[in-house]
Amino acid sequence: MSLPELTELVTLKSPGAFRAAALDAEGRAWRLFSLRFQGEADALLGRRYHALIRSLSKAQGGAFVELENKVAGFLPIRGDALVKEGERICVEIVAEARTDKLARVRLSEQGPGDFDAFSAWKASLPVAAPLPECEDRERLTDAFQDAALDSVTLPGGGRLHLEQTRALVALDIDTAGREMRGSAGARALSVNRDAAFEAARQIALRNLGGAIVHACLAPMNRAAGEKVRSAFEQVFRAVSRRCIDVLAPSRFGLMEAAIAWAERPVNDLAGTVESDLLRSLDEASREAAHQPAKLFDVCLSPAAFQVYQDHRTVLDADLKSMFGGRVQ
């Protein structure tokens, strides 16, 4: 199976949100981008912020900081770094916040400047030239739905199951429904290489990082294990610039990888009030586009209405520019 090559971007602008997906020539999604409320409530990867050092923690080897937009972050500190509580500094985001984890920052000699999150994301794609872009609701929606599945179909048949725990991302292979020929070793290698390809795609697609443990199919000798390890690493590097270290499968058939965190995981905010609000506004905007002469009222829960109030300036501006007041 050849290495993936990103060929186009599909985008979708909806009230309070902008999303994009990088696809290959076969229409498979490999990378996803999502920006909520123009990023005003987030610490965006690569952006520089003024920050205040709230407290130092020798036990954790760093300092807890508060960014200018009130988002909390953690600054790892080397032994020779001289910082103190209450000091105002400039930092750059090196890993966005995720569930139970603060944004990770580093000291920056430059102050905040103009920043476009989508342009920064496009620059992170390992492509030789800018990719063509088009707005496509259907393909964009399919890409995000793909990233939300608990199990996905392997290229040659069978399923790959994914589970994200607090400690790691676990992947397991199910060969039910797959037609296999040849020796046991050849069959296992075929399945494991297909699974490595899809595992790398799903990890990159979902913005997952940290410890990855992939249970491979037996039997597998050392040469076959190296082929599987190499396939996973090469496929991931073809679509992402994040640091990755992959070990060949152990004698227990477990392939382990460590991948640097960067953007917030795609599904990290699923089920939150913010996500429910944005989904409601997106559904209303879709109906408004299909019925251009009709007025729409969006009914919100008290919690969703509070989120709307918190981001009212951004949301009202989007609704007005997109629908001229037809959606309220």
Please give the pLDDT value at position 319.
Answer: 82
Please, which pLDDT band fits residue 300 given cuts at 50, 70 and 90?
Answer: confident
For residue 164, pLDDT beyond 80: yes
pLDDT value, residue 172: 98
Task: Report residue 327's pLDDT band, with 50, 70 and 90 as the boundaries.
Answer: low
Q: 328 pLDDT band (50/70/90 cuts)?
A: low
Cα distance between residue 276 and residue 325, in whole Å: 21
pTM: 0.92
What are the helix (H) ranges across 172-311?
A: 184-205, 222-239, 273-290, 302-310
CATH architecture of 48-107: Beta Barrel (2.40)
* Residue spans per domain, the chain: 6-40+115-136, 48-107, 143-259, 273-323
Determine the pLDDT at residue 305.
87
Distances (CA, A) of 248 to 221, 230, 238, 306: 10, 8, 19, 50
Query: Is 160 in a helix, a strand, or coil?
Result: strand
Measured distance CA(156)–CA(310) in Å, rounded = 48
d(CA 260, CA 241): 10
Which amino acid makes up residue 107?
L
Tokens of 262: 């960067």
Q: How far is CA 64 from CA 55, 75, 260, 263, in A?
A: 5, 6, 21, 20
Residue where the block lists tokens 């342009």: 119
Q: Is the pLDDT of residue 306 over 70?
A: yes
The answer to whether 257 and 212 have CB atoms below 8 angstroms apart is: yes
Q: Check whether 326 has a pLDDT greater than 60.
A: no
User: Of 243 and 39, which is predicted with more confidence?
Assistant: 243
- Dist. CA 258–CA 236, nearest whole Å: 12
Tens of pLDDT along 72-118? 999 999 766 778 899 999 999 999 999 999 999 999 999 999 999 99
Residues 110-131 have pLDDT tens digits of 999 999 999 999 999 999 999 9
